[in-house]
Structure 1
Amino acid sequence: MDGKVVVITGALGALGKVVADQALTRGARVAGIDHAPSQVPTASNRLELGGVDLTDVAQAMAAIDAAAAHFGRLDVLINIAGGFAFETVAEGDPRTWQRMYALNVMTALNASRSAIPHLAASGAGRIVNVGAMGALQAGSGMGPYAASKAAVHRLTEALAAELKGRITVNAVLPSIIDTTANRASMPNADFAKWVTPKELADVILFLASDAASAVTGALLPVSGRV
């Protein structure tokens, strides 16, 4: 990862912060994009673009182009931005399906489409998406979320096929990530079984590295001990 320029969407979230820190530790230069206001000052190896709505095509393109212009290139795109909703199909709101699709699919699509020209010029371009184990077989209350993450899986496969030989495209499929929010919503769970952000970050950054040059189109389960 040394010297690579990495763009991370959702960089201010629980997972995004850990991935950004780990990438910096490994010598990467990191541009973080998030809907939340910027919290990190610009440095020689760090740029943060806050207040960006990645569901908007123009905003996504402007942010990606700004990152590429700042560092002079772009090698890796890690799509972490997204959202979660627990809602039954029969009793839920159809707008939840639209919101999940916008947050989980359109953010990844818009960022990827914007980054492809820069990544192709890299010679070792990488896209890593975040899918979900829960999208392989949806449970009760998981319909809108699982459907949107299943679409992320199909987006990953389609991009991998289209970009084969130019850019690798893969996805990690976590189970439950050990975050403060998840602990609060499931206080009686066995947290030791969950996958930690650091464990997930290690897999993401492997797929972003030169060591994963022969891996593309993979949906890689990162299920912890669930």
Structure 2
Amino acid sequence: MIIAVRNTGYISDRKQACFLSVLSAEEQQRILNYKRIEDRQRALLGILTVYYMFQHYYPYIEVAKWYRRDKRGRPYVALSSGWQGDFNLSHAGKWIICAMTEKGRIGVDIEEIQPLDCKVAFECLTSEEYASLLQQKEANRWTFFYEKWTRKEAIGKAIGTGLLTPACFLSIEAKNSWSIRHYCIDEAHIACLCVSEGDLPERVTYMTDVEMERYWIRE
């Protein structure tokens, strides 16, 4: 399952303080360490989305009790919970993406499609991928690039290394070890989801921070 939550900036400081109380002391402090309000909102909304998904799909898991981060900061649910699945988060612009699988590993990435300097693209792609990029029509070139980039990011996050694994080494052949799918979130954002086991969702579930707020108020 995969959820895309649009951050409209609607949640007030008072309500943010209320939502922070749902989280562990460690996660509260991590969020409060952000200087920019936008970063705090995004981080908070990401965790609330994870909690929301667990309460909907795995209500027997006390996610607040077992929510942890590894040494690289990747969130996970401790094995002590008895759960064998995985989840992952990503954000770009106003969008927060959360994906979850009941078994195996998962990685998700979302990016805003915008032109880049070709030198940057060269550093992010294999030589074969870069050659293919240059062959694309101008109208399709950057969509092509971000399809490759989001896949690399998603695989790196599923593996657990993220950008510590050079993106250019995660070539197109890496898809043979993963089930991979791209999703058009809106006209300017593309997301990629990869899983080591199981099926990929056909559709993305869309929500807003307002809907997420109503959920937590109801709770």
Is the structural similarity TM-score above 0.5? no
Greater Cα radius of gyration, structure 1 or 2: 2
| TM-score tier (shorter) | 0.3 to 0.5
Give me the TM-score of the superposition, normalised by structure 1: 0.32
Give me the TM-score of the superposition, normalised by structure 2: 0.32
Indicate the structure with greater strand content: 2
